Amino acid sequence: MAKQKKYRIRKLRVAVALLFVSFIILVGVFIVLLINKDKSPQMTDGTQTADVEDSGEEVESEGEDDGDEESAGEEEVAEPTPEPTVDPYVITEFNPTHTRETRPSRLMEYTNVRVNDTTLSSVRDYTAEETIDFGLGRDYTDLEGVFTFRGNNFRDTPSYGSALMRRYRMRKMWSIGTKSVTIGGQYWSGNGWTGQPLLVKWPAETKKNMNMYDWAKQDDNVVEAIHASLDGNIYFTDINTGKPTRDTMRTGFVFKGAGAIDPRGYPILYVGAGYNSSAGTARAFIISLIDCHIMYEFGQTDPFSLRGSLSFFDSSSLVDAETDTLIQPGENGILYLIKLNTRYNEKRGRLSIKPGRIVKWRYKGKRNNYSNYWYGMEDSAAIYKGYLFIAENGGHLMCLDLNRMRLVWVQDILDDSNSTPVLSVEDGKLYLYVSTSFHLGWRSSSTAEIPSWKIDAENGSVIWKTSYECHSVDGNSGGVQSTIAVGHRTLDDYIYVTVSKTDSLYNGVMVALKKKNGKKAWEQKGPYTWSSPVCVYNSDESGKDVVCYARSDSKLMMLDGITGETLDEITLGSGNIEASPAVYNNILVLGTRGCNIFGIRLR
């Protein structure tokens, strides 16, 4: 028994030793393979493997025998590592200043700042309590939809998402009727300039707090279109069905502009009246969309205005989410910055604002006066970082430092402008595109040159301009009353401009200009338009990206964005279409002066 036990122990020791030796050999082999990994010869079957770093998948590429005997046996040169993709919308440098031509003192007499009830003796005395610092337009909101005129603080995206288009056709899905009013002999009907709808896909948690109909609260596919209209009403509609999502809000005030939704997703609508009415003097409103009541109003007959008692608000506001600041230009020539002190308890459905510090800024240009080359801002402001870009009624394009309330540069754009500046990032630099209208009698009583400009956003200098000769009539101006559409994706080389009253009082053009040099890529002639064009991008990457625009002959056009070919056209009721469309995926929404709002499917 003792001998057998010793034998088993000896046998066990041998086995352990053999296992240890085997382990050492395996470790050695592994180390050799690791050292020689990058020196492995090419596989004899003509294939080689390469690791894809991002996915970890193995990709094979077939080797080819080209019959070149001299190259036989030579080591293949490894493919170079591709450069990381550069984001084309990143701004590498932005240090705003002025040139000799754009020095503010060349065109401006003075500017003033008022903080609450005190007008500062000098703008140099102004101190910001918080720093305003906007990012790129695509970062304006995290929610789904079109939240302000032309979508964001760059004013470059009046369409959300993309549309699967294969037939390139437009089909009327639904329409709803609007109304008209006559005030002081002035007739207002439906939706006019600029009149863009706001499109919002509200989160379910937000919808449960609002006065939406139960079916709309329960339907996760509802996207709400909000139309502030000329007839004094605000309409709420589901873009998929055309059904009202809640009761119409009746205010009695004439709304020309688009309004804006709070980019933080708070149920707040900011909108201004564009004309006095039986309801009272025009003013700007902050409206709770929980129950559609007016929380705050401002701007009516403001004594700080150099334009007298006029207090119209066509401009679509922006909100700086970080500082809780509303930024609202007025046709009274005042820019308002209002600290909102917003409180929103989503669980309890409670919303309040308590406006605190109110900063007002005004300007006086060397050719501004009440009767000629007016004061006032009818277009909407574009903003990047703390710099606001806006055109005004007296023919000045201005860059204002919001954190110091000082003008950085001013460019002469000749005439009364209603065209909102659009920001565009190209090769790491920031530019803006803008045009102007033709106010009859200021520069001419017959025809006048109407340029579209590309401007260096850092210093206001002109990169190029492309002009049309235009006619005009009092009260129905020629030139560019619309906002330029800046192309992206396959349309990245172009901007799109609708110019009204070229050749005659009734005609106009849609023109595609090359971003690089302003040369015409193509143009389409037809009845004039004040409506702004919109670029719609195909979710099928092999398909066409298109441009849609509406005309004064009641037609909505769909064009190939690269060639200008007409792909489709449809008639939307009767009357002029001045308002601008907004798009959510494949649904375009547009109001008309003919007292209809239409939902159009793009296919």
Averaged pLDDT of the chain: 88
- Residue 541 contacts by C-beta under 8 Å, 6 or more apart in sequence? none
> Of the candidates 225, 231, 293, which has an alpha carbon nearest to the alpha carbon of residue 259?
225
How far apart CA 263 and CA 346 sit, in angstroms, is 15
Contacts of residue 33, defined as CB under 8 A and 6 or more positions apart, other chains included, come to none
Sign, CA torsion 201/204/209/212: positive
315, two tokens:
């401009």
Judged against a pLDDT cut of 80, whether residue 168 lies above it is answered with yes
- Do 269 and 257 touch, CB atoms closer than 8 A? no
pLDDT at residue 559, rounded to an integer: 98
Sequence-separated (6 or more) residues with CB below 8 Å from residue 376 = 307, 310, 312, 330, 331, 332, 333, 392, 393, 394
Please check whether residue 338 is in contact with residue 272, taking contact to mean a CB–CB distance below 8 angstroms.
no
Please compute the mean of the pLDDT values over residues 208-236 and round it to a whole number. Answer: 97
Sign of the torsion formed by the C-alpha atoms of 195, 196, 201 and 203: negative
The owner of tokens 């688009």 is 258
108 in Cβ contact with 363 (< 8 Å): yes
Is residue 88 scored above 90 in pLDDT?
no
Task: Report residue 56's pLDDT band, with 50, 70 and 90 as the boundaries.
Answer: very low
* Cβ atoms of residues 482 and 531 within 8 Å: yes
* ∠ CA 150-151-152, rounded to 5°: 110
pLDDT band, very low/low/confident/very high, at 32 (cuts 50, 70, 90) = very low
Mean pLDDT of 193-220: 97
Task: Judge whether residue 400 has pLDDT over 80.
Answer: yes
The three-class DSSP label of residue 183 is: strand
What's the Rg (C-alpha) of the chain? 31
List the single range of 76-85, 178-187, 400-409 with lowest mean pLDDT: 76-85
CA nearest to 397, candidates 374, 383, 417, 380:
417
Token pair listed for 309: 């008692």
Could you check whether the bond before residue 194 is cis, i.e. omega within 30 degrees of 0?
yes
Dist. CA 242–CA 173, nearest whole Å: 8
Q: What is the mean pLDDT of residues 6-32?
A: 49
Residue in the structure block whose two tokens are 């070149």: 68
Residue 574: pLDDT band with limits 50, 70, 90: confident
Q: Output phi, psi for 453, to 5 deg.
A: -115, 150
Q: Is the pLDDT of residue 11 over 50?
A: no
In this predicted model, what pLDDT tens digit does every residue of 296-312 receive, in sequence order? 999 999 999 999 889 99
Confidence of residue 435 (pLDDT cuts 50, 70, 90): very high
Residue 13, classed as helix, strand or coil, is helix
Instruction: Summarize the confidence of residues 349-368 as an average pLDDT.
Output: 96
- The CA distance from 194 to 182, in Å, is 19
Name 172's bridge partners: 600
Span 283-308, average pLDDT: 97
d(CA 379, CA 450): 17
Share of the chain above pLDDT 70, in %: 85
- Burial code (b: 16+ CB inside 10 Å, e: under 16) for 552-590 equals bbbbbbbbbbbebeebbeeebbebbbbbbbbbbbbbbbb
Integer CA distances (angstroms), 234 to 118, 156, 237, 272, 450, in order? 35, 25, 10, 12, 34
How many beta carbons lie within 10 A of that of residue 498, not counting itself? 27
Confidence band for 2, pLDDT divided at 50, 70 and 90: very low
**What one-character DSSP code corresponds to residue 332?**
T
d(CA 93, CA 73): 50
pLDDT, residue 84, reads 54
Enter the tokens of residue 390.
Answer: 């806006």
User: Does residue 571 register a pLDDT over 70?
Assistant: yes
Q: Is the pLDDT of residue 14 over 50?
A: no
What would the two tokens of residue 476 be? 């129905």
Distance CA 266, CA 287 (A): 11
CB atoms within 10 A of CB 49: 10
pLDDT recorded at residue 184: 87
Among 160, 172, 250, CA closest to 196: 160
* CB neighbour list of residue 30: distance below 8 Å, 6 or more residues apart: none
What is the predicted pLDDT for the residue at 374?
86
Taking the alpha carbons of 308, 482, 236, 252 in that order, is the dihedral positive or negative? positive
Cα–Cα distance for residue pair 125/108, rounded to 1 Å: 19
The share of the chain scoring above pLDDT 90, in percent, equals 81
Least trusted range by pLDDT, from 34-43, 166-175, 201-210, 233-242: 34-43
Q: Which residues pair with 512 in a beta bridge?
A: 496, 522
Assess whether pLDDT exceeds 50 at residue 562.
Answer: yes
